[in-house]
Chains A and B, each alone.
Chain A
Amino acid sequence: MNYHWNWGVFLQEAPEGGVRYWELLAEGLGWTLAVSALAWAIALGAGLVVGTLRTAPGRVLPMIAAAWVELFRNIPLLVQMFLWFFVLPELLPPLKRLLADADPTHGQFAAAVLCLGLFTSARIAEQVRAGIRSLPRGQREAAAALGMSTGQAYRHVLLPMALRIIVPPLTSEAMNLIKNSSVALTIGLAELTFRARELGEYTFNFFEAFTVATLVYVVIAMSANRAMAWIERRVAVPGYITGGRR
């Protein structure tokens, strides 16, 4: 391929004036990180609750939790993003009035965080459920034999063990979430992929723009991977499944 690489493009001034392209990409990276971090917090919190409820005794709570999972897992992410940003405000007039006065970026950011957080929560819930189900039945029974209530059994026995088991699949979810955050460009949030496309559209240096964006995504996803690996080692119970590797 006789493509003429032009890496100097990142130092050029963007047509909107006053900023260089690399600064716009850095700004985009900031949005990507902010969306990913907040969405991850929501996903972990909601996923933990919903996943636990799926294994709870009785019928009503597991059913509600199952409905949650199926709702957020079965609608394509792109469609969910559209629904949160374009459709929800139409259904809630007070929200729409609020958005009309606010900075549009805030509305986009909130929609992206909620959408990605809840979408990922459904996936995490399934992993939490799998983690709890993978524990030997004896653990639950032993907790009961010690006189623990159901809540205490979850708090002191089941969840601490289950969460350790699911750290590796959670790592994948964290990396997926970071990459999924690029879907926010469809509602106009100027995150990393948005800025890379913009750079390409104005300068036609698409290859340079996406090469850099790709490398940045790899670095963030690998950092998330390393951080989770560190957590995995820190919380390992010696002699127990994940604790064997050192």
Chain B
Amino acid sequence: MKNVVTLFAALALACATVAAEAAELTGTLKKIKETGVITLGHRESSIPFSYLDAQQKPVGYAIDLCTKVVEAVKAELALPDLQVKMQPVTSANRIPLMQNGTIDLECGSTTNSLQRQEQVAFGPSYFVVNITAAVKRDSGIKSLADLNGKTIATSAGTTSVPLLKQYERTAKIDVKEIYGRDHAESFLLLANDRAAAFVMDDILLAGQIANARNPHDYVILPESLRTEPYGMMLRKDDPQFKALVDKAVGAAMRSGEARKIYDRWFTQPIPPRGVNLNFPATPAIEGAFADPNDTGV
């Protein structure tokens, strides 16, 4: 009998130790608790996910969803005065800035790819994109195959570049690529007729077109080179923060709150000029909301 009591005492002690370890903060949450600051990475022209409005303030769909995460962090760490710092990032520096601790959560338009998962982790996918091409309406280009022999613009350092090269090989077409430094510059190449098409994620194309001088001059081709999920980027091997992000975003998706945020940015006029992207949720996006997941491509 005494042995059994000793055994229970030992078990209880072991459980208590485990509980104490679980309560101890690690990784990003520990850093936020110690510094009282969370740094969000944002983009400058990824409309409507993350961009600067007329007052140069970062706004967008991803920023609103990240705010849900910030609220969850405040509640979790009992830090009502948590300071939120906004750090602009580009497609080329977002991963190094995440790895070296400059940003804690990236709220942009980052594809959740398996290759990137070797370096960083992702929250639940909040958008699913088609990679396709925007062309001028009067160009007569109706499909990707019509691009044979033409010059195609795309933004350097994006996943569109290898996809375009792959498509060139499989479809046996020959195109000349020209790289813009960012999406605005790539679109400028299309607008100025320096390129016949701009290959990029459909929603980013819709964003550039909505802000163009004559939005009606452009069309987005219905084909798709690939679909890709977008997710918030966070540091790898940080289970506490990852669980918090998953829970906060997942809850917003299940409650319908995320859907309201979606409609606000994609089907209503948005800053800075009150344009409407007219981009209702596709079935793939509905699917991501119904079953929050971080599956990459």
Contact = CB atoms under 8 A, between A and B. Distances in A.
The reply to whether chain A is a binding partner of chain B is yes
Interface of A: 14-17, 86, 89-90, 96, 99-100, 103-105, 107-108, 185-188, 190, 194, 197-198, 200-204, 206
Contacts of B179: 188, 190, 194
Q: Which of A16, A198, A206 has the most CB of B within 10 A?
A: A16
A89 B157 CA distance: 26
B35 interface: no
Q: Which of A100, A187, A201, A203 has the most CB of B within 10 A?
A: A201
A99 B92 CA distance: 28
A188 B181 contact: yes
Given A188-B179, A204-B116, A204-B118, A194 B156 contact: yes
Interface stretch (B17-25, B159-167, B280-288): B159-167
B148 interface: no
Interface of B: 91-92, 95-96, 115-116, 118-119, 151, 156-158, 161-162, 165-166, 169, 176-181, 185, 188, 192-195
A204 B110 CA distance: 14
Contacts of A202: 115, 157, 162
Contact of A201 (B92, B166, B194): B92
B213 to A, nearest CB: 14
Contacts of A206: 95-96
Contacts of A190: 179
Given A15-B165, A197-B92, A201-B91, A90 B157 contact: no
Nearest to A87: B192
Contacts of A99: 194
A5 to B, nearest CB: 13
B170 to A, nearest CB: 10
Contacts of B169: 17
Given A16-B166, A104-B177, A185-B181, 18 more contacts: A15-B161, A15-B162, A15-B166, A16-B161, A17-B169, A86-B188, A89-B194, A104-B194, A185-B156, A186-B181, A188-B178, A198-B161, A200-B92, A200-B96, A201-B92, A201-B156, A202-B157, A206-B96
Contacts of B91: 201
B167 to A, nearest CB: 11
B151 A104 contact: yes
Contacts of B119: 204
Contacts of A105: 176
A204 B33 CA distance: 29
A136 to B, nearest CB: 50
B162 A197 contact: no
Contact of B176 (A16, A86, A103, A204): A103
